[in-house]
Homo-oligomer: A and B are copies of this chain.
Amino acid sequence: MEPSPGGRNGRRTQRSSVMPIVTVQQGPRDVTLKRDLVRRVTDAFVEAYGVPAETVQVWIHEVPADSWGAAGKLTADK
């Protein structure tokens, strides 16, 4: 395979797969942390898939602690 200009490790961009959409479900977090996350997750796609950073979108859905849970309990009640 030829080196891709976008891919650090020389993988070809697979055209049918460009424009990955990343949706994160999490509790609320500080904007500083989210800024860092969006940068790092985008880098993960650039490095793993060799796609340009411009094609990666990250959407963070922050769900309050009284609206999600595991093991049958709301996080707010733990």
Which residues does A use to contact B, with CB under 8 Å?
A: 11, 14, 16-29, 31, 33-45, 47-49, 53-54, 56-63, 65-77
Q: Which of B11, B31, B47, B66 contacts A74 (CB 8 A)?
A: B31
Q: Assembly of this chain: how many copies? A: 6
Given A16-B27, A16-B28, A41-B45, 19 additional A-B pairs, CB 8 A: A14-B27, A16-B65, A17-B26, A17-B28, A17-B29, A19-B70, A20-B26, A21-B57, A22-B22, A22-B41, A23-B23, A35-B73, A37-B45, A37-B48, A38-B68, A40-B45, A41-B41, A58-B68, A59-B63
> What's the Cα separation between A36 and B66 when bound, in Å?
11
